[in-house]
Amino acid sequence: MRLGFAVKVMARPDLPSNDARRWQNSPHLCVSLQYLAAIFDYLEQAGIHMYRISSDLAPYLTHPELPQFHNQIAECAAELAALGERARAQGLRLSFHPSQYILLNSPDAALVEKSIADLKAQSELLDAMGLGPEAVVVTHVGGVYGDTLSGRERWVETYARLPEVVRRRLVLENDDNRYDVADTVWINERCGVPLVFDNLHHWCLNRAGLDPHVALAACLQTWPTGVRPKIHYSSPRTELRTLERRNKTTGKIERVQAPPIWSGHADYLNPFEFITFLRGAASLPDFDIMIESKLKDVSLLQLRADLQRYAPDVAARFAEDLALA
């Protein structure tokens, strides 16, 4: 099993995840790929074998008004193939998770088409790297737009007309306030899309009252034979938040303490909750875990140390990770 993190390398602020320049400065995928190669160096040194690539890797790739950016994948074919070869050599599992603006179930046909274009571009990037079926593109169901039933039905209808390159890589995740695991299972039963289980989202939204490990097992079994499932794991943020608010009496900006938002990600994982979760899943097939903590790779490295200290039996499940081998 593998542990991974998303996009930004917190332990190395000198490693940008993508070319973030504005379009006026001619950003390009070739620059982002140089950054990604440096991140691969870091991942190899740290013994990390799972990484979520920035969804902005190819700047303005699908922007309808900036056609000068539309051919970046072809222009960087050799660089993409070389990075893909390197990822395979490192045993590195890669993925994308497009932004919340990807809405396949929107009643707005133009927004759906834009969403499809973005998913197609990210799927084509993974194809250009020559990566296998474990390299996936994660999305959510989307908005409710009145009721969840019609929202689910529209998602299934859109899925049926997605390009083959997208259907081959797309996976669906439960969210924290609209569509729970039962909803995504309903969708899977109608179109076959594999499901990603997110533990924190399940805590926040579980209308069906499913036990977490029952929900996890339901998601794991939707993956094709021979493709290892992946899940998302994070701990809820429990710290007080410091906010700036305007005093209605004085008109001045004041700093106030506000309660935590339980759906927010904590900086680190609670190791004891993670250990309990993994022990409860001991009878299930292996799966990879994308850590969604605020401190990303720093949190991952801390979790390794915590597992070795508190739960060698759980640490042993991550033998593929060179740091724990």
pLDDT tens string 202-212: 999 999 999 99
| Domain ranges within the chain, ordered by starting residue | 3-318
> Is the predicted pLDDT of residue 143 greater than 90, yes or no?
yes
Per-residue confidence (pLDDT) for residue 200, from 0 to 100: 98
pLDDT tens string 258-295: 888 899 999 999 999 999 999 999 999 999 999 999 99
* pTM assigned to the model: 0.94
Mean pLDDT of 172-180: 97
Mean pLDDT of 86-93: 97
The HSE-up count of residue 13 (CA atoms within 13 Å, CB side) is 0
Per-residue confidence (pLDDT) for residue 325, from 0 to 100: 45
| Cα 174 to Cα 178: distance, rounded to the nearest angstrom | 8
What is the CATH T-level fold of the domain 3-318, as seen in this structure?
Answer: TIM Barrel (3.20.20)
Contact 42, 12 (CB under 8 A): yes
Cβ neighbour number for residue 300 with a 10 Å cutoff: 25
Phi/psi at 242 (5° precision) = -100, 120
Residue 3: band (very low, low, confident or very high) from pLDDT cuts 50, 70, 90: very high
Q: Report residue 185 as tokens.
A: 């299972």
| Cα 197 to Cα 148: distance, rounded to the nearest angstrom | 19
Phi/psi at 24 (5° precision) = -65, -20
The HSE-up count of residue 248 (CA atoms within 13 Å, CB side) is 0
